[in-house]
Copies of this chain bind each other. A is one copy, B any other.
């Protein structure tokens, strides 16, 4: 049975990737299963300098969803290269570095330093949790075009994946990413959401707005992936509320070449392994020998 897929020239053992910010730098998950069982792992978003992140509370549960306002806490590029990357490199799997800058220059510096160190770079242009940076790029047409082209030119070895914001028009921005040379796109990042504590009458989060993830957003994410695959030819990685193999299959059938599981990892560290197993079972049950017979097989 073949489960392997190609993201451009990059071969993944199977289409299941853990999403950025939901699997740390692989250290914790590696205590529970052999990381090399995964298609790939995405590192927590990395910035040039270490970031402390937002003050608590950082989490709020909503119906079938999770609002988070982590604020991109991360160890910064230097410690990432020195401490975190060598650890995850011990496992035989592609590593995706998710990067976030406050300016084009910062993105460029991150990309240059990480080029060749990781198999792919996922440009996070869509995080709603920092005031400067992310969101600005994610919804500004020419800024995204400029950023993607510049980073693409810098990269000699690593693949470029652009991660889209659900706050932007997906068709338009997938096209911009493709035209600017991105090797693939991934979507969606969390959807901007909000919660109010009715007893204190305060927003739950200091930043007021936080990012919504989890099963609640799945139908929206799937629609956006559909919009993306109907627009571009480059591989699309589907993300959003994928908890089970059945969820993953919806995205693959719709045309995603691979998927990322995020919030699912919180509920069960073995989620991604269970998703892989479930996809195999589905293929067995339906007499499908190659996952490529599933990808994009939607019958209209």
In the complex, what residue of chain B is closest to A210 when comparing beta carbons? B219
Asked if A10 is an interface residue, CB under 8 A from chain B, the answer is no
Residues of B near A241 (CB, < 8 A) are 63
- Given A63-B216, A64-B65, CB of A249 within 8 Å of CB of B198: yes
Query: Given the complex, which residues of B lie within 8 Å of A289, measured CB to CB?
Result: none
The answer to whether A192 and B218 touch (CB under 8 A), given A202-B299, A298-B202, is no
Min C-beta distance of A173 to chain B, whole Å: 13
B203/A298 in contact, CB under 8 A: yes
A215 CA to B64 CA, complexed, in Å: 8
Instruction: Scan A15-44; emit 1 where CB is below 8 A from any B CB, else 0.
Output: 000000000000000000000000000000
Minimum CB–CB distance for A57 against chain B, Å = 14
Cβ contacts under 8 Å, A250 to chain B: 195-196, 198
Q: What is the bound-complex CA distance between A298 and B209, given in angstroms?
A: 14
> Does A193 make an interface contact (CB < 8 A)?
yes
Chain B contacts of A140 at CB under 8 A?
A: none
Identical chains in the assembly: 2
| Chain B proximity of A229: nearest CB distance (Å) | 12
For A192, the chain B residues whose CB sits under 8 A away are 220, 223
* B-chain residues with CB within 8 Å of residue A195 when the two chains form the complex: 219, 222, 250
Beta-carbon contact of B63 and A218 below 8 Å: yes
Q: Which residues of B contact A203 (CB under 8 A)?
A: 298, 300
User: In the assembled complex, which residues on chain B have CB atoms less than 8 Å from the CB atom of A214?
Assistant: 63
Q: How many whole Å from A188's CB to the nearest CB in chain B?
A: 12
Q: Which residue of B lies closest to A250 (CB)?
A: B196
Smallest CB separation, A278 vs chain B (Å): 11
A212 at the interface (CB under 8 A from B): yes
Complexed CA–CA distance, A298 and B203 (Å): 7
Q: Does A91 contact B (CB under 8 A)?
A: no
Chain B residues with CB under 8 Å of A299's CB are 200-202
* Chain B neighbourhood of A67, CB < 8 A: 219
A253, B203: Cα distance in complex, Å: 10
- Top-4 shortest CB links A-B: A193-B219, A63-B215, A64-B64, A216-B216
